[in-house]
Amino acid sequence: MSARIIDVRLNDKTSNGEANMRDEIVEGLSRPVNQKILPTALLYDEEGLRIFDEITTHADDYYLSHAEENLLKNHAHDIAKVMYKQHEGDDQRPVESIVLELGSGPLRKTSHLLSALSEIVPERTTPAPITYYALDLERRKLERTPDQLAASPVGPDMQGKIDTHGLWGTFEGGLRFAAEGGLRGCEAAATVAAALRSRSLSSDDAATQPSSPSSSEQDSIETAPSTPDATPEMPLHLLFLGFSLGNFSRGEGAAFLRALPLRGDKGDTLLVGIDHGTDGARIERAYNDRRGITCRFVLNGLKCAGRVLGDESLFAPEKWEYVGRYNAEEHRHEAFYRSRIAQTVRDPQTKVEFTFLEGELVMVEVAYKYTKEAAYRLFTETNLRPLRCWTDPGSSCALWLLERPPFNFRPLRSPASALSNTPFGVPTLEEFQELREAWDFITTKMIPDSMLFEKPIDLRHICLFYTGHIPTFLDIHLSNLLGEPNTEPEYFKVRQSATFSLVTCLHPTQDIFERGIDPNVDDPSQCHPHSEVPEKEEDWPSHAMVLDFKKRVNARLSKLYAELESGSRQLTRRVARILFMTLEHEAWHTETLLFMLIQRAGSGTIPPSVGGFATPCWESLAEAWDATPAPISATVTLGPTTVELGHDDYEADDATLDVRDHEFGWDNEHPRRKVDVGEFRIEWRPVTNGEFYEFWKAAEGNVPMPRSWVMDNGNVMVRTLYGPVPMKIAHLWPVITDYNSLSAYATDRGGRIPTEAELRLFLDKFEISYEEGRNVGFRNWHPVPATTGGEGGGRGHNGGVWEWTSTVWDKYEGFEASSLYPGFSADFFDTHHNAVCCAYAALHNYLTIVANSSVRRYLTVPCKEDRRALVEARKAPEPEVPGPISSATIWRRISNVLDGQIWVLGPIFFRSRRRQVSSRIVSGCGATADSQVDEVLSILEVLTLMAWP
């Protein structure tokens, strides 16, 4: 097969990685003692690549290559399936796409993936629907690739399904070519002669090339077209294998990933290999194998260095030795040349002398390792979202498939911004803009025009209300803060009558879009003050008008930030509090709007995939979830101890200029208070859908089906924003249901729902952060299985849900309602709400960092059919109570253990499982003597008959 190679080298010698090699060597060897370095590229000349291939084939200690080959061999079909899931055509066939491998690796590994890609293409066509490009600086290697592929077992499978081409150049040249659309126009490439003319390479340039093509070879090389053709944009799938990311420094690696030409709305992906290893001894063996192949590979770099300087024998091999070591502090392997003797090396061209002491080290290569937490941080910093991870069970190596999402939340600023030293202080304008991208995505891409004037659920306003509420809330508080008029049109904030009038709006009353509705679930007529809204669709402003209003309010916010940064307006705590409050207000509404929209998923709401997020490959994910290791033990014992809740944030001090180190919060988080917690046992992981399903099924209709589930043709499905999924997919997710049902489950299992202080203690000790991989911040649009209780001290996450507590939402000593938003908490001190902790998967990471343990939320505890509150509970078993107890204590403990659930379960359910339920309640009450057990059973029978006569 004739090799088709496109020359994508750049005119800039530095970018091309050729002529500057001499300068890099000279600069590196001119450094002080034990700080000298040589370019890593010296290792990978043609001979070096041959030896490296020997390492990957015959060095048993080099686990990385074997692990990657095993991963591709065992999971290539799954990788291909997930890669192409998000852009299948209407007929479920994959659309045309491009696969670009950065640095063409051994074909025995890549061929596994190419074979799997061939299988997902149903028909052979000319040209083939998938085009594979191998990018490499070694031209001869690219020339061999097509012939080797054609002769390999995968060759016949690829015909008519995958076309193969080469890109001759550096990473920078190839990626720039791809970013400019060159891969779409390769058919129009010119000859190498035209390439040489267009690039105007001088004779000096040519002399520094690793090798120049002969006239007979030139016919196989094409130049990158100067203007790509107008063919439709195709998905681009980048392969960065060989764990090459580890050869970049931390900062360089992040910059490289950030610059990749991945588009957030075209289905582009990146498959990258990462070594998560931390075993220093094993890592050192891998880079210094027993056969000595790695030693030959590294020492060959000295030959290459001498050749670049003008004398291949410049660095006498008998005077140097290879040294490799693992640097645990930097989490990297380091490769050095060590001078065996004191010596001087003279540059043949410049006559500059380089002196080396006996034993002096010259660094030539580093290989960084990333823990999984570090990998998540890296992805977050570089705007990449994991779609799937495949881990080799025999090593620490993994392949990650990533996408660049339409929006992403960066890690919390650290250590400071221009306005604040704490991430919980004054938010930046960039944080507003990031959150705005999420809000706009949800309200403009996931809510169709047909739903704008519909209520997403009962007892709520129409969808358009929330689109207008966010800018209105911000505008009202900016006006009050700055003493300025509200943004036009005023009638967005004034209810005049059945219609609206601009003329009569002399002074707004901040209505219409001012405040949402949150009625009592049991009695919807009971509700806090809220906006009076139009009853007819024609009386609402148009969507376009609301969006224009929002644009002008956002411009007002930008102007305020400009004034603060220029110093023309002072930053007081009151100004900072308004900014903090309005940002968090929008974040809360982002989440609660999704809670409502999920109940219309599949019957109105548009899935996130339409806007550019990848469609989950549920079967592949479920396979990984089902393999999630169980906790090392069922429960963990905590306490007794004292837990601190909240923090000190006095609104009375808002006139002060002491802002930079202050952390803000809501009124229910102030002041800091201490709560004593006794010893208790709590399960490592929340109640799952599968566990609750078995309980619900056994209840035979006496426990309501969670509103997060839906019945479809007799099958229970779990709601997601992509539409319902089968229970077998989501059976390990934490269940999302109402308080009463979960309390009934906990009681049936001999436990109870933990208090806020108990759950807070558990979370502060074991919950990981967003940057460490916690399922929040839109890392997924759905829950996933919890990971707490595993190795490494039990730290993990709860799967991405809010968790119920048994603590009633109520006033406490020291509580003061906010003067800016008096009803935020106080309106719900009605005994119908309980405190909740944690966060939903689709919530801004600003609100989900576990370090900010003061964050408190509340949700309704329903007692009738409407189960609006979709949050999750973790059960905390009651501690054992030894010794006999009084009858009065038995009565009290029955009340505590039952937690009112007898009213939910009913006598039929109770009697059908009398022995099981009774024994658990008796145990929970701590009854020991036979007479006390009989008394407990008698009381339970009376309560049952009282509830269900």
Give the position of tokens 């009151």. Answer: 574
Q: What is the dihedral of CA 502, 503, 504, 510, to 10 degrees?
A: 30
The mean per-residue pLDDT over the stretch 476-502 comes to: 68
What are the percentages of helix, strand and coil residues in the chain, rounded to 5? 40, 15, 45
Residue 36 phi, psi (nearest 5) = -75, 145
For position 868, what pLDDT does the model report?
23
In sign, the C-alpha dihedral spanning 486, 492, 495, 501 is positive
Which residue, among 383, 363, 582, has the nearest Cα to 479 in the 3D structure?
Answer: 582
Report pLDDT digits (tens) over 550-600.
999 999 999 999 999 999 999 999 999 999 999 999 998 998 899 899 988
Residue 27 phi, psi (nearest 5) = -65, -40
Counting other chains too, the contacts that 509-513 makes at CB distance below 8 Å and 24 or more residues apart are 510/472, 510/476, 510/486, 512/468, 512/472, 513/465, 513/468, 513/469, 513/471, 513/472, 513/473
The mean per-residue pLDDT over the stretch 194-210 comes to: 35
For position 901, what pLDDT does the model report?
41
Evaluate if residue 148 carries a pLDDT over 70. yes
Evaluate if residue 58 carries a pLDDT over 70. yes
- Residue 518's pLDDT band, with cuts at 50, 70 and 90, is low
Which of 370-379, 453-462, 704-713 has the lowest average pLDDT? 453-462
How far is Cα 409 from Cα 778, in angstroms, rounded to an integer? 8
- Residue 863's pLDDT band, with cuts at 50, 70 and 90, is very low
Evaluate if residue 199 carries a pLDDT over 70. no
Which has more confidence, 531 or 1?
A: 531
Going from the C-alpha of 820 to that of each of 582, 792, 935, the distances in angstroms are: 11, 44, 54
Report pLDDT digits (tens) over 729-765.
999 999 999 999 999 999 999 999 999 999 999 999 9
Which residue, among 53, 71, 130, 141, has the nearest Cα to 95 in the 3D structure?
Answer: 130
Which has more confidence, 393 or 113?
A: 113
Are 109 and 67 in contact by the 8 Å Cβ rule? The answer is no
Which of 242-246, 410-414, 720-724 has the lowest average pLDDT? 410-414
Mean pLDDT for the chain overall? 82
Are 470 and 550 in contact by the 8 Å Cβ rule? The answer is yes
Which of 54-63, 145-154, 286-295, 629-638 has the lowest average pLDDT? 145-154
Burial label for 515, CB within 10 Å (0-12, 13-18, 19+), is buried
Give the position of tokens 């106080």. Answer: 826
Report pLDDT digits (tens) over 766-794.
999 888 899 998 999 999 999 999 887 89
Which of 265-279, 503-517, 527-541 has the lowest average pLDDT? 503-517
Which tokens in the block code for residue 870?
A: 């979709």
For position 947, what pLDDT does the model report?
41
How far is Cα 186 from Cα 131, in angstroms, rounded to an integer? 11
For position 415, what pLDDT does the model report?
53
Furthest-apart CA atoms within the chain: distance in Å: 105
Q: Which residues of 177-194 are buried (b: 16+ CB within 10 A; e: fewer)?
A: bbebbbbbbbeebeebee
**pTM for the full predicted model:** 0.83
**DSSP letter at 12?**
-
- Residue 648's pLDDT band, with cuts at 50, 70 and 90, is very high
How far is Cα 677 from Cα 513, in angstroms, rounded to an integer? 43
The mean per-residue pLDDT over the stretch 122-140 comes to: 89
